[in-house]
Amino acid sequence: MKTSKTSRRQAAIASFMQAMREEMRLSILWGNAAAGLAGINPTDAITMIFLNEVGEATAGQLAKITGLTTGAMTAAIDRLESAGLAARKVDPHDRRKVIVKAIKMPTQLSALRRTVTKELEDTLLHYSETELLRFIDMKNITNAFLKRCINLYDDKHVRSFMNSRTKP
Amino acid sequence: MKTSKTSRRQAAIASFMQAMREEMRLSILWGNAAAGLAGINPTDAITMIFLNEVGEATAGQLAKITGLTTGAMTAAIDRLESAGLAARKVDPHDRRKVIVKAIKMPTQLSALRRTVTKELEDTLLHYSETELLRFIDMKNITNAFLKRCINLYDDKHVRSFMNSRTKP
DNA sequence: TATAGTATCTTTATCGGTAAAGATACTTTA
DNA sequence: TAAAGTATCTTTACCGATAAAGATACTATA
């Protein structure tokens, strides 16, 4: 019995979703494991990695990026500040805002990133650059999809700052 | 000035990692948002989705799958049980173990899955089945990579049960 | 078959996150 | 410019997660 084209498509899409769910679960596990390796709590790790990329951001932006409440972010910044990893300063243009500036990257996180990069290079060894670029395109597509799902949840919550970072 | 082949590769790999990090962050956000939509806490949602796929699992297996401590899983199972979503029973072959059995899927989670599936179908509308299959392959590769990273953290922690589910 | 060792779940103290209210500061409008 | 409205961070009460210790049951070894 021959399978129809559309049902094969649906089966492919179902497999795709299954793989995405698996990836989501693993991502969370890995986030926690990585933070554990670095001896830092997962939230603080994500915050520092992000801060390290952008240099500085407001407390509110960090809350949106990490998906935490502003209250939790206040506490996280307290921890980072007392660990000497980041510092607060008031935004001179808007004194309600608190700008958080990265001071230094926890050395274990940097070391971990090097290890993981090496591991990923080994994994991707047998793929051509063209294939890699196609993979990246595809990741961007699913990331856009995830963003739409998240916006489906709350239109104003994440969109503004997130889009401003990842569009280009 | 011409860019060397290896440095282009490294740039592609760096972009790839960047996209993976973004995807991890979005995955966590979406997990929480989805649970919020379903009116259930994220841990309970992940546990129920998993239980729904496999039918039943021990408390320890659920802890490993979700990345929670066994203590947290005890509390989660208490919640699920008192909400009538799952039930405990003692493993007759090993009375230390507690087997957790899915009773029913929260209706909001099922509804949400249908919505998201539709959304994903729209997203993938213009890709051929062949391309979809290539995407799935690639997801499986990165998932295997994530698993290796996690095992790097703790060899005995996650591996056994996780591998037994996803190898075939 | 005792005994020691290991595995599995539960309990408890502490910590991190959420939600909601509070304190300031900016913005709009009359 | 005064008042009302909105935005941003902090505080607080409660809840969920962790880590470590406890309770029970299986396993290996003499």
Q: Tens digit of pLDDT for each residue in B76-90?
A: 999 999 999 999 999
In the structure encoding, which two tokens stand for residue A99, read together? 């700008």
Question: Amino acid letter at B124?
Answer: L
Disruptive mutation site among A5, A7, A10, A24 for chain B (greatest number of B CBs within 10 Å): A24
Determine, for residues B23 and A26 on separate chains, whether the beta-carbon distance falls below 8 Å: no
Residue B156 confidence (pLDDT): 34
CATH code of the region B5-126: 1.10.10.10
Residue A1 confidence (pLDDT): 54
Closest residue in chain B to residue A147, using alpha carbons only: B26
Q: Left if phi > 0, otherwise alpha if psi is -120 to 50, otherwise beta: which for B55?
A: left
Determine, for residues A146 and B8 on separate chains, whether the beta-carbon distance falls below 8 Å: no
Question: Amino acid letter at A149?
Answer: C
Average pLDDT (A64-77) is 93
Per cent of chain B over pLDDT 70 is: 87
Residue nearest to nucleotide D16 (CA to C1'): B72
CA nearest neighbour of A28 among B155, B23, B48: B23
- Nucleotide at minimal C1' distance from the A72 CA: C17
Contacting residues of B for A146, CB less than 8 Å apart: 23, 26-27, 29-30
> CA A155 to CA B9: how far, in whole Å?
37
Q: Give the distance, in angstroms, between residue B95 CA and nucleotide C5 C1'.
A: 18
User: Within 10 Å of residue A10's Cβ, how many Cβ atoms?
Assistant: 13
DSSP B108: H
Average pLDDT (B26-49) is 83
Determine, for residues A152 and B9 on separate chains, whether the beta-carbon distance falls below 8 Å: no
pLDDT at B2 over 90: no
Average pLDDT (B59-76) is 94
pLDDT at B162 over 50: no
In the structure encoding, which two tokens stand for residue B5, read together? 């082949």
Confidence tier at B123 by pLDDT (50, 70, 90): confident
Question: Amino acid letter at A92?
Answer: P
E-strand spans in chain B?
Answer: 56-58, 86-90, 98-102
Determine, for residues A132 and B36 on separate chains, whether the beta-carbon distance falls below 8 Å: no
Residue A157 confidence (pLDDT): 34
pLDDT at A30 over 50: yes
> CA B157 to CA B148: how far, in whole Å?
12
In the structure encoding, which two tokens stand for residue A44, read together? 């603080």
CB-neighbour burial class of residue A70 (10 A; exposed 0-12, middle 13-18, buried 19+)? exposed
Contacting residues of B for A154, CB less than 8 Å apart: 33
> CA A66 to CA A49: how far, in whole Å?
11
Coil, helix or strand for B87? strand
Average pLDDT (A59-64) is 94
Confidence tier at B126 by pLDDT (50, 70, 90): confident
The whole-angstrom distance between B85's CA and the closest CA on chain A is 21
Q: Is B97 on the interface with A (CB under 8 A)?
A: no
Higher pLDDT, A18 or A48: A48
pLDDT at A79 over 90: yes
Q: Give the distance, in angstroms, between residue B96 CA and nucleotide C3 C1'.
A: 20
Contacting residues of B for A144, CB less than 8 Å apart: 123
> CA B31 to CA B112: how far, in whole Å?
12
- Identity of the residue in A32, A117, A139 whose CB atom sits nearest the CB atom of B19: A139
Per cent of chain A over pLDDT 70 is: 88
| Element counts in chain B: helices (H) and strands (E) | 7, 3
Residue A13: C-alpha distances to residues A9, A20, B127 (Å): 6, 10, 11
Higher pLDDT, A131 or B87: B87
CB-neighbour burial class of residue B83 (10 A; exposed 0-12, middle 13-18, buried 19+)? middle
pLDDT at A144 over 60: yes
DSSP B126: T
Average pLDDT (B16-21) is 84
Q: Do residues B10 and A129 touch, judged by C-beta distance below 8 A? A: no
Residues A99-126: pLDDT tens digits?
A: 999 999 888 888 888 888 888 888 888 8
Q: Which residues sit opposite B141 in a β-bridge?
A: none
φ and ψ of B97, to 5 deg = -85, 145
In the structure encoding, which two tokens stand for residue A50, read together? 């992000």
Determine, for residues B120 and A152 on separate chains, whether the beta-carbon distance falls below 8 Å: no
* Mean of per-residue pLDDT scores for chain A: 82
pLDDT at B155 over 70: no
> CA A106 to CA A38: how far, in whole Å?
8
Residues B89-122: pLDDT tens digits?
A: 999 999 999 999 999 998 888 888 888 888 888 8
Residue A151 confidence (pLDDT): 66
Q: Tokens 């990741």 belong to which residue?
A: A139
Residue A2 confidence (pLDDT): 59
CA nearest neighbour of B98 among B107, B89, B109: B89
